[in-house]
Chains A and B, each alone.
Chain A
Amino acid sequence: MSIKKTIGSTMKLNRRTFLKASAVASSTAALAACGSKSALDEFLQKNFRFMSKQEIGEVIQRLETQYAQQYGKEISVSAKEALPETFFGYALDISRCIGCRKCVYACVEENNQTQAPQMHWIQVLEMEKEKGIDFMDANLYYQHEEVPHEGHFYLPVQCQQCKNPPCVKSCPVNATWTTKDGIVVVDYNWCIGCRCCMAACPYGARHYNWGQVELDPETINPDTHYLGNRPRYKGAVEKCTFCIQRVREGRYPACVEVCPVGARKFGNLLDPDSEIRYILENKRVLILKEELNTQPKFYYFYGT
């Protein structure tokens, strides 16, 4: 009787208690180092995609408290869902871009990218006009007093928000996926940091926190999204999210706003009156490395 009872109650253990039990058993050392309950909760946190509304709420609260302690200021973390009837697309006018890298730094500020070593989600490549788009001859580290440099044009590359993303396919733990509104995102708390996705991405769009994340509390952007620009962790991967924290509020991505020559266009591909749809219909667009069948939603075009 008593044996039966024990077996019965063991089987009734639900997933969470099981996790707790096994975690406590298997990683005593690690937890001794962390000590507090919030560290245990963080360790046991589920994959964002499979969390209930309530669980998301708890996680956000914990994160906000943590960030407040860490950076000494209030940082809001939103988990706002995709807006209905939206599927985002981006277009970049190669004939306008002057290679000033304003977008690179606006992105760093908006998205709280780590400072050591400095991370850039946007990489502006300088290419020779005579050669056309040729990555093997591209220069990422150009330094000129004035841009554009004679005989050259510029090709900014960031996450191409592929419709058929090889990065998502390669992730062993489903830590990265495409949202309903078409943004490829990463759950920074679920990523194990194996870097399969970095090997898989044909555009060098995924970046890794090699060291401790360093942010200046003064300049930190306090309006964040869970899947976007909230402060990240050492050992996790991150990438451009079309500024998910902005676009889900109906605003433009920071790079679109800052571009001094208006080379960057953004909008809802499902809205027939959007600027992005106008460009697709009236300009001739191209995508990078089309032979890889990644099907980017980031288009390049020649506006003039």
Chain B
Amino acid sequence: MKFIRFLKECFKVIVRGSHRYYIWLAFLFGVIVWGSTGYIQQIKQGLLVTNMRDPISWAYYIGNFTFLVGVAAAAVMLVIPAYIYNWKPLKEVVIFGELLAISAVIMCILFVIVDVGNPLRLWHMIPGIGTLNLPSSLLAWDSLILSLYFVLNLVVVSYLLFNHFYQRETKKRLLNTLILLSIPVAIGIHTVTAFLYNGFAARPFWNSALLAPKFLASAFCSGPAVLIILFQILRKTTTFEIKEEAIWKIAELMAYAMFINLFFFAAEVFKEVYSDTEHLVHLEYLFKGVGENRDMVMWGWTSLIISVIAFLLFLIPATRKNVITLNIGAILIWFGVYIEKGIALLIPGFTPDVLGQIYIYRPSLIELKISAGIFAIGFLIFTLMTKIAIAIIFENFNITSLKKKPA
């Protein structure tokens, strides 16, 4: 009963807002509608409306999925120092990391759904009802662990906000157990997603033991990069508060993660270049082009160069603490990892294909449309949830304040 009341009050918070808020929502709805028209067309005509074909059978959708699994890590990145070491400045913002994780996981699931040829048959994957292929299929594991991560974060966030709203003490034991549990699960979603690619012996570009560690390292950059920018926007546009110190700390942690990411990359390049086997061709496709096909080269270098620049910006304390360079760094990292995961991982992995043939892939307009729609859904969910969280945490929106002023 109390929870229903809570939900009702939250709903009231969502529908009230400034002009800017309404414009933002209208914009998101617009993009969602636009994306849906693309999806309707895809449902009618099949994935033929994308530019994926047999040689490149996963592309932009699954690339976005992979990137967003990384973003979903943001929560854990902040949870660890905040809760384990009881590091105050971060603690109150952890919840926003978790909100981001929830939105990111929803987007992940949507990207898988739009990529699947027969979405109506997805019930075949429900354990007990369908025939989920455990333990051998990695996609089966991935679906399970993503759902678990989603539920965990949702429970933690609702529990925290609910208690805040009723101004009750949280049960520390229970909460800490859940939060502690979410750490290995967050690492798990990355690892299993990396294993999904990693396990294909047919694709040497992914068949490297470094793939999962690299996924973790780059996720520890991209997730917080999104958060740093979001925090500043929220600070400007709402009553949200965060201390400079906390942002710098996040930026510092990102610098270390980026270093590890670049180091792993260097290790892989060395192995491929020095041993110079036929597997080198995929890396060549990314950085040099194969024959006349140089489609990927621009992306390969852009991603690498901006990642290095961002690393330096975050490493040097002066640039880390300067608002402008900090934000440039965050945006660069974001783009760097987006290109790396969204484009530079999948396409060169499939090119040349297993029979040595080259198919040039560029996302079709419909792929871009549908993807934009999914991002808009994610942003919408994040916006609404954040609005509630800010009201509860910073704006003194709770049961007592509601009782005081008669509605």
Chain A residues proximal to chain B, CB less than 8 Å: 15, 18-19, 22-23, 26-27, 30, 43, 47, 50, 117, 123, 125, 134-138, 140-141, 157, 166, 169-175, 190-196, 198-204, 206-212, 233-236, 292-293
Contacts and interface: CB of A to CB of B under 8 A. Distances in A.
A208 B57 contact: yes
B363 interface: no
A61 to B, nearest CB: 21
B176 interface: no
B331 interface: no
B137 A172 contact: yes
B116 A47 contact: no
Going nearest first, the 5 A-B pairs with the smallest beta carbon separation are A193-B117, A235-B117, A211-B48, A202-B202, A135-B356
A15 B129 CA distance: 8
A65 B119 CA distance: 25
A199 B58 contact: yes
Contact of B355 (A135, A173, A236): A135
A173 B131 contact: yes
B354 interface: yes
Given A30-B120, A136-B352, A173-B133, A195 B57 contact: yes
Given A173-B125, A210-B53, A234 B120 contact: no
Contacts of B27: none
Chain A interface mostly: loop
B266 interface: no
A127 to B, nearest CB: 9
A173 B118 CA distance: 12
B357 interface: yes
B355 A22 contact: no
Contacts of B118: 191-193, 233, 235-236
B317 interface: no
Nearest to A293: B201
A196 B202 CA distance: 12
Contact of A123 (B130, B140, B200, B355): B355
B54 interface: yes
A200 B45 contact: no
B62 to A, nearest CB: 9
Contacts of B321: none
B169 interface: no
Nearest to B120: A30
Given A173-B133, A195-B58, A209 B46 contact: yes
A174 B127 CA distance: 12
Interface of B: 45-48, 50, 52-55, 57-58, 112, 115-125, 129-133, 136-140, 143, 196-197, 199-203, 278, 281, 350, 352-357
Contact of B133 (A171, A202, A203, A210): A171
B356 A137 contact: yes
B393 to A, nearest CB: 35
Chain B interface mostly: loop
Contact of B54 (A157, A193, A198): A198
A199 B200 contact: yes
Given A173-B132, A207-B54, 5 more contacts: A174-B132, A202-B201, A208-B47, A209-B117, A235-B117
A39 to B, nearest CB: 10
Contacts of A125: 355-356
Contact of A210 (B52, B115, B129): B52
Nearest to B137: A172
A195 B125 CA distance: 14
B123 A23 contact: yes
A190 B139 contact: no
A292 B281 contact: no
A6 B137 CA distance: 38
A14 B298 CA distance: 57
A198 B139 contact: no
Contacts of B119: 192
Contacts of B138: 170, 196
Contacts of A172: 125, 132-133, 137, 139-140, 143
A202 B356 CA distance: 11
A211 B130 contact: no
A212 B197 CA distance: 29
Contacts of A166: 200-202
Contacts of A170: 136-139, 199-200
A234 B278 CA distance: 35
A236 B199 CA distance: 22
Interface centre among A166, A203, A212, A235 (most CB of B within 10 A): A235
Contacts of A157: 355
Nearest to A177: B133
Contacts of B53: 117, 210
A43 B120 contact: yes
Nearest to A31: B120
